[in-house]
Structure formats: structure tokens, C-alpha cells
Structure 1
């Protein structure tokens, strides 16, 4: 568990949780559920607060929160009494949910974030507010894992930042094999 004052969210949670079950994958990669999961990275929230944030009926949001709880991705982090009803506040079980080793039949359950990021970033590109890099390199296969670990550390830092800004930002990264031209070995001349 992580308990660092000043870090978002306002409750304790694991830094990284590896997910591999179909139930977890279906839950985390559902469009509405992924938004709900992201919202509670800021602070714990009730179904009513979540419903207001996503402009959906509380009954719809309660159903999806239930699916996330069943998958172990959300949990009740505190309650309060409102009149005669106990209001539950939900939080994530981890700051980052990372897809571990999955079977070939589970791959369709996982969202490819790069096309989503490309679509979302179009307006920022148009307004000259996009910061992006694309780099190609032939690297030894045994260096890929350790490099990705560094990228995950950067994502953990980004995820832990206080969410006090007036504007939201997205961070996306991808590391994938690609065919790209390379120079031949240098000549001896």
C-alpha cells in the first residue's frame, strides 16, 4: 500500500496491480468503466458524484461500479450516513492497472490506447498544444523490459501528481516492434 501525504487520491491504494483475468480486463477496458476508474484516482467518490461527473443516471453508474467492485478494481474506502441511508465512497484498488501475460483469446478484451490518444490529441495538435515524440531504434530485446519499467515509473509519477490543475492532460506511451529502415553497417573506407 502507498500512503504518501499530498499525493492523489485521498485514500490508500497499491501503486501497481497486474491484471490478467477476463473479468478484470472486461471491467477496466469498458469505455464508461474506464472513465469511472480514472475519476476516483483524484479522490474517492459516491455513485451520485460519479453519475453527475459522467452525466449518466445513478442506476447506470451503480451497475458499472458494481462490476468494477466485483472485478476487484474498485472498493468502498469509506462511508457516511445521509439521513437513514449509508452512502458509500469508492476508490481504486491500485494507482495503475497493468495488463500482465494474457492468452490469445483475451487480446480482444484489451483496448489499444494509441488510436484513442490520436483522436483525442487532434484538437491539441491543431491548437499547437501537443507535446509528442516518436522515435525508432534497433535495440537488443533484453533491454526492452527494463526500459519499459522506466516508462511505468514515469506513469506512476504522473498518476500520483495532485489533480489540482484547471485543465486535464493525458499521457500515452507505446513500445512495440516495428519494421523501420536502418542504416547499413559503416563502411571501412
Structure 2
């Protein structure tokens, strides 16, 4: 079995973030299956077959979703090898993180929808830490808490070890809509 390799991108060559700016990119990240594929590729490259196995998809479906993510520039081929006359491609995230557009329809709230779906799909006998707290903060406290949460997430992302099981950290810090606006939107 011969092997032709494209050099893997080192972490220094991978951009820190990709800003989702096009409709194609937004549609790509808005899909739960593609979200789960990107989660598989978060720490290490994988082939279509490996992605299909980890996400629980048919190989053809996995290939379809991977092509859409690649076309949107969110994932890329980082290595190839020839296996029994067929070129096997290894895909990885095109950047360490994805930045969604600010609150617009289909914007950051898509992350919360995906997080809830992932939480619902997680084993019920596994350890979880889920909490919601209603706070009353000054704008300065609000900004400070947001910065601290981001710094904590970044600190633990740096400690991530690809050999360990996946762990998801999701948080949302926001000012809820006022009661009058919520009632008006309901009618």
C-alpha cells in the first residue's frame, strides 16, 4: 500500500477564526448534522468514513455534508493518502473557531439550538453541569462577566487533549427581551 501525503497544516498556519459572512456559510453552520461533523474535526483530521462512523451517518450523507462545509470554506483537506488505488482525504477545520454574525435571524442563537440538541442527545447517565442563573448586573459587570467567561473557555480550550473524550462548554450571557416586547411578538 503506497502513501502520498500532503503536509498537515501546523497549528501556527491555522487561522484563529473564520468569520461567517456569506449565506452559504450561514446555511452550512446552521445545520445540526454539519455542526456535529465540525465537532468531530475540532481536534483532529478525519476521513469521510471516520466522520460517518462518529456522527452515525451513511457514508454518502457524510460526503454530501462534508462537501458543503468544504465549499463554504469552513473545513479543508489537510492530508491525502492512496489506499488500494483510491485517494483518501483527511479533513480538518479551516480555523480554530467560527465567529457568527451578530444577532440576526439564524445568527448566534443557532449555537444554542445545536447545544440543546447535543445536550438532549448526550447519555443521560453521564455527568453534566447545567445551570441557568438570572442576574441583575451593571453594564460594567455584564462586560466583565462576558470577558471572564470567554477567557475561561479559551484557557480550557488550550488545555484540550485530543486523546480525551469530547466535552462541550456552552454559555450565553444576554439581556432578555422585555415583557412588553415578548408579548407583542407573540401576537
Where on the TM-score scale, by shorter chain, does this alignment land: which range? Answer: 0.7 to 0.9
Q: Which residue of 1 aligns with 2:3?
A: none
Match for residue 38 of structure 2?
Answer: 37
8 Å contact kept, 2:17–2:95: yes
How far apart, CA to CA, are the structure 2 residues paired with 1:125 and 1:135?
25
Question: Which residue number in structure 2 is paired with residue 132 of structure 1?
Answer: 131
Asked if structure 1 preserves the Cα contact closer than 8 Å seen for 2:75 and 2:94, the reply is: yes
Are the aligned partners of 1:75 and 1:92 in contact in 2 as well (CA < 8 Å)? yes
Question: Gaps (5+ residues) in structure 1?
Answer: 5-11, 181-189
SS at match of 1:97: strand
Residues 56, 122 of structure 1: alpha-carbon distance in 2 compared, 3 angstrom cutoff: closer
TM-score after normalising by structure 2: 0.72
Distance 1:22 1:81, change over 3 A: same
Structure 1 residues 136-159: Cα deviation after superposition (integer angstroms, max 9, x where no partner): 13222x665565344333333333
TM-score, normalised with respect to structure 1: 0.71
Tell me how far apart the structure 1 counterparts of residues 73 and 123 of structure 2 sit (CA, whole Å).
Answer: 35
1:3 matched to 2:11: yes
How many residues are aligned here? 168
Q: How does 1:77-156 map to 2 (within 5 A)?
A: 77-101=78-102, 104=104, 107-108=105-106, 111=110, 113=112, 116-117=115-116, 120=119, 129-130=128-129, 132=131, 134-140=133-139, 144=142, 147-156=145-154
Structure 2 contact 26–106 (Cα < 8 Å) conserved? no
The aligned counterpart of 2:20 is 19
Give the match's secondary structure for 1:176: coil
Residues 24 and 71 of structure 1 are in contact (CA less than 8 Å); yes or no, is this contact kept in structure 2?
yes
Q: Where does residue 157 of structure 2 map in the other structure? A: 159
Over aligned residue pairs, what C-alpha RMSD do you find? 3.3
Shift of 1:42: 2.2
In structure 2, how many angstroms separate the alpha carbons of the residues matched to 1:151 and 1:2? 27
Q: Is the 8 A contact 1:77 1:91 kept in 2?
A: yes
Structure 2, unmatched stretches of 5+, are 1-8, 179-187
Which has the larger displacement, 107-116 or 22-31? 107-116
